[in-house]
């Protein structure tokens, strides 16, 4: 006989404590904090129920009483880190400025926890801290005359820009650390190669472009301009 599929559930709908008995030695927040410490040190691939249990000083199987699946563990981690947003200030009334400020908070948070871009998914977007962030962001958009669906689109696009940008920054930094020479030496070698290729005359448009502006890229400016263009596309 084919077994019945388990019923779908959300970790936040489960009571943290099931039934009676002595108070547990730790709770979800402790589990999430242990997993985040491991991920910060070893990356997301380094997180396992065994390592989290060892960090907490408990048996691996007993951990499943609190967190039935590894995906639930990821959700706890995502929620804990989402709580790092500072949502204490009242929205200024300038929705563009408020969204940009939140975007810079998000970028800084992802650099503190470089595994976070891998978990940026709507699946993990409805935990307590994530909902608090979403409600606050919507309050920043009170002065933006648009339907709810359009506001949600805007928030999703902003988060998409942040996640993609930071993921590229992290990948570049990780590659730099793996090189047998310095980042400056790498940059100089690639610049020399590119200059040689452009000087062949096969790339006239690129040659004209570099002649116009060959200076270093302002990564901070690029980030703000990318966000600004998304906001421009929604502004009436």
Determine what percent of the chain falls in helix, strand and coil, rounding each to the nearest 5: 65, 0, 35
| Per-residue pLDDT reduced to its tens digit, 51-110 | 999 999 998 998 888 898 899 999 999 999 999 999 999 999 999 999 999 999 999 999
Asked if 69 and 44 touch (Cβ cutoff 8 Å), the reply is no
Q: Which pLDDT value is given to residue 224?
A: 93
Question: Rounded CA gap, 25 and 40, in Å?
Answer: 24
Q: Which pLDDT value is given to residue 214?
A: 65
Q: Which pLDDT value is given to residue 23?
A: 64
Question: Rounded CA gap, 131 and 86, in Å?
Answer: 14
Among residues 134, 136, 95, the alpha carbon closest in space to that of 235 is found at 95
Residues of the chain with pLDDT under 50: 1-2
Q: What residue spans of 43-147 are helical by DSSP H? A: 49-56, 60-63, 70-82, 95-112, 128-140
Q: Which pLDDT value is given to residue 199?
A: 92
Distance from first CA to last CA of the chain, Å, rounded? 60
What the chain holds in terms of domains, given with CATH numbers, is 11-82 (1.10.10.60), 84-233 (1.10.357.10)
Is residue 63 classed exposed, middle or buried when 0-12, 13-18 and 19+ CB atoms within 10 A define those classes? buried
How many helices and strands (H and E) does the chain possess? Answer: 10, 0
Question: Rounded CA gap, 24 and 27, in Å?
Answer: 7
Asked if 198 and 129 touch (Cβ cutoff 8 Å), the reply is no
Q: What is the 3-state secondary structure (H, E, C) of 173-206?
A: HHHHHHCCCCHHHHHHHHHHHHHHHHCCCCCHHH
Question: Rounded CA gap, 89 and 35, in Å?
Answer: 29
Q: Which pLDDT value is given to residue 181?
A: 86
Q: What angle do CA 173, 179, 183 make, to 5 degrees?
A: 60
Is residue 70 classed exposed, middle or buried when 0-12, 13-18 and 19+ CB atoms within 10 A define those classes? middle
């Amino acid at each position: 006989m084919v077994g019945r599929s388990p019923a779908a559930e959300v970790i936040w709908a489960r009571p943290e404590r099931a039934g009676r008995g002595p108070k547990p030695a730790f709770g979800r927040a402790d589990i999430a904090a242990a997993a985040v410490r491991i991920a910060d040190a070893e990356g997301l691939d380094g997180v396992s129920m065994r390592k989290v249990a060892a960090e907490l000083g408990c048996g691996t199987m007993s951990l499943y009483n609190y967190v039935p699946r590894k995906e639930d563990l990821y959700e706890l981690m995502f929620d804990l880190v989402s709580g790092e947003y500072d949502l204490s200030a009242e929205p200024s009334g300038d929705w563009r400025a408020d969204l940009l400020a939140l975007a810079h908070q998000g970028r800084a948070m992802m650099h503190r926890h470089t595994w976070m871009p891998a978990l940026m998914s709507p699946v993990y977007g409805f935990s307590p801290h994530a909902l608090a962030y979403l409600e606050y962001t919507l309050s920043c958009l009170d002065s933006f005359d648009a339907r709810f669906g359009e506001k949600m689109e805007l928030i999703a696009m902003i988060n998409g820009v942040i996640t993609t940008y930071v993921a590229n920054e992290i990948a570049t930094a990780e590659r730099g650390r793996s090189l047998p020479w310095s980042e400056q030496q790498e940059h100089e070698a690639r610049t020399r190669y590119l200059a040689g290729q452009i000087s062949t005359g096969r790339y006239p448009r690129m040659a004209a472009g570099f002649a116009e502006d060959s200076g270093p890229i302002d990564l901070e400016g690029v980030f703000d301009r990318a966000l600004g263009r998304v906001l421009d596309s929604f502004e009436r």
